[in-house]
Structures are given as C-alpha cells and as structure tokens.
Amino acid sequence: MTATATAAQVLAWAAEPAGPVPAGPLWEVSRLANPADSLRDAACQLARRTAARLGAGAPPFGARSQIGLGTVFLAAAAGGRQQAGPAALLAQAIPHASARRNPDAWYDLVARHGLVSAVVTELDGIGTASDTTPEPGGSGENTPEPLPELLLGASPLTSVLYRPPLRALRSDTTGPVVATVLALLTRPRGQSVLAMGLAGWMPRPDVLNWRTNLLTRLRHEHRDLLLDVYVMARTRFAADWDQRISWAARQLRLRGAPDPLAVATLRFWAPLAAVERNDPLSRLRPLLDGQGPALTLVRGLRLDQAGAA
C-alpha cells in the first residue's frame, strides 16, 4: 500500500466520516506530487460535499479556482500519522493558503476544510503518534507539534470554524485567522456560513473560548455577524444550548475548581451580554429569544467582564 492509496482512503472517509480515521503507510510518497485522476476527483468530490454542508453555494463563496494538491497531501499525512516524521513533513510541505492574498482560493480552502475538520475533530485531544511529552523540567519549546495542530495550520477555514492552532492561541497571534474571517465576510454566503459554523456548542473549552474571543473582537465593527451567530444559536441549536447551559450552571454550583468546559459554555454568551448593555436585543434582532438564563448567569458570574475566565 502506497501513500497515494493511504490518501485515497482518508479522502473517502472524510466525505462520509464513520469510525476512526483510516491509517496506512507512506511508501512512494513522491507519487503524491502527480496523483492519478481518481485521487484528484476524490478531493473535488470532498470539496463539493463540504460546500453543500456549509451552505457555501456552488462554486463555494463564488470562487471558481481549481483545487490544488494540498488536500491530497493532508489526507496522506493524516492517514500516515503512525509514521510521525514523514506525516509532519507532508502536513507542512503544502503551500500556504491565504484568502486575503488570493481572493479566488476559496474552493481550495473548502476542500482543505472538508478534510481537516473531519480529521481534527476525530483526533484532537486523543493523542497521535506525533504527540510528544516534554521532558520533566523542560520548556517544551522544541517539542514537535501534534499532527492535528499542523493540519489546523494548513487549513485557514478550519482555523476559523473550529479553532486556530494552539501555538497561535497561546501566543495571541491569531491575526491571520481573523483576516480570513474578514475576507469571508466579503464573499457571497460568507456571513451565513460563519453564523452557522460558530453558533453550535462543542465539547471543547478551547474551541468555545476561541469563538467567544473572536466574537468579542468583532462585536463593534461587525455586530451584525455577532447577532447572526446568536440568532442561529437560539433557533437552529436552541435545544442543545438549553441543555448545556443548565448543565454548566449545575457544575458551577459545585465546590472545588470550576469546570473549564462549564465556564467556556457560559462565556460563549458574554459578547451578547456586552451588546445588550447598550441596546435592547428585541430591537436589534426580534428573533432572539430564550437567551435570558444564559445572560443572567454570565452577569452573575461576571463572565462578561474583561479578562474573566
């Protein structure tokens, strides 16, 4: 089995994820530079499915550019994760993608997102062969990044809708990710995709905190996007959010250190609480309804204050 066969398996899996991410060897990796038409077609099919799932239109966000080989390389890296060194090199070998510098890159970005979002949500936090534990007393500065982090770094759209790589979050260097958001807001269907993609609950504090921080950053100049996110949360995902908010409230009444996921669940509503301080939500978005319990908890716990954790 070769690297191209491994990539083909992962691309097929990403189109309809079920079970664990396939794994295979990375033999004859040089053949990825000139893959068979069937492999290119699989990447295109994944892009079309992803665009339909996102509601990005056809072509996605009005961009008719071709899909590059980046998605094929990322599929091979994900499937070959048990060969940590070669997999990491593959994940970092593809050209950097930037919608700001190349406004026609969206089809390629959607293809990458279809692959990376499926793989990362499956692997994130469970460990991969590329994970390394820092030596006791060491700083960890030379520790290789886990493969999911490398994949996130190669997929700007996943960095927006899921989260940026942890190194960017920890060093507060998420400017390029925010630039992707701003570029997306200029594209057809861009704002609706953002609203849908950012509105749901996730069982990951780092993902929820990223979304909270992003909405806080955008709430003055792009308040319409912020309000659209919360309208979607209170319409499309209302039942799930009600359940999660009730759970978070119970968790935070327990003694001991607060549960990070419970805090992040409630903090997600802090940007909306900040908006409501100045404008009645009923006037801004008549469809916003049912967010009262969350906002009350946010204010009671002072999670709407700057620096609240």
Tell whether 179 is covered by a domain.
no
Q: Are residues 147 and 273 in the same domain?
A: no
Closest CA to 40 of 53, 31, 51: 31
Tell whether 136 is covered by a domain.
no
pLDDT at 141: 53
pLDDT at 51: 97
Tell whether 46 is covered by a domain.
yes
pLDDT at 139: 42
pLDDT at 259: 96
Q: Are residues 199 and 164 in the same domain?
A: no
Q: Are residues 127 and 203 in the same domain?
A: no
Q: Are residues 39 and 108 in the same domain?
A: yes
SS3 163: coil
pLDDT at 184: 96
Final residue in a domain of this structure, among 174, 197, 232: 174
Tell whether 23 is covered by a domain.
yes
Tell whether 184 is covered by a domain.
no
Q: Are residues 243 and 278 in the same domain?
A: yes
> Which residue segment(s) compose the domain that 154 sits in?
1-131+141-174
Q: Work out whether the CA dihedral 269, 270, 275, 278 comes out positive or negative.
A: positive
Q: Are residues 29 and 96 in the same domain?
A: yes
- Residues ≥6 apart with Cβ < 8 Å to 132: 143, 144, 146
pTM for this model (two decimals): 0.91
SS3 159: helix
Kindly report whether the peptide bond that precedes residue 271 is cis, defined as omega within 30 degrees of 0.
Answer: no
Torsion, Cα of 15, 16, 19, 25 (10° steps): -30
Task: Report the C-alpha gap between 200 and 297 in whole angstroms.
Answer: 19
- Supply 31's token pair: 């053949």
pLDDT at 234: 96
Q: Are residues 62 and 112 in the same domain?
A: yes
Closest CA to 3 of 28, 39, 34: 28
Tell whether 182 is covered by a domain.
no
Tell whether 252 is covered by a domain.
yes
Q: Are residues 113 and 253 in the same domain?
A: no
pLDDT at 306: 58
Q: Are residues 202 and 156 in the same domain?
A: no
pLDDT at 304: 81
pLDDT at 175: 95
Tell whether 180 is covered by a domain.
no
Q: Are residues 31 and 62 in the same domain?
A: yes
Q: Are residues 57 and 100 in the same domain?
A: yes
Q: Can you point out the beta strands (E) in the chain?
A: none
Distances (CA, A) of 2 to 6, 8, 109, 225, 290: 6, 10, 26, 45, 53
pLDDT tens, position by position, for the chain (309 residues)?
A: 899 999 999 999 999 999 999 999 999 999 999 999 999 999 999 999 999 999 999 999 998 878 999 999 999 999 999 999 999 999 999 888 777 677 789 999 999 999 999 999 999 875 433 333 333 444 445 567 999 999 999 999 999 999 999 999 999 999 999 999 999 999 999 999 999 999 999 999 999 999 999 999 999 999 999 999 999 999 999 999 999 999 999 999 999 999 999 999 999 999 999 999 888 888 888 888 999 999 999 999 998 875 444
Half-sphere exposure of 243 (CA within 13 A, CB side): 8
Number of domains the chain is built from? 2
- Supply 33's token pair: 């530079």
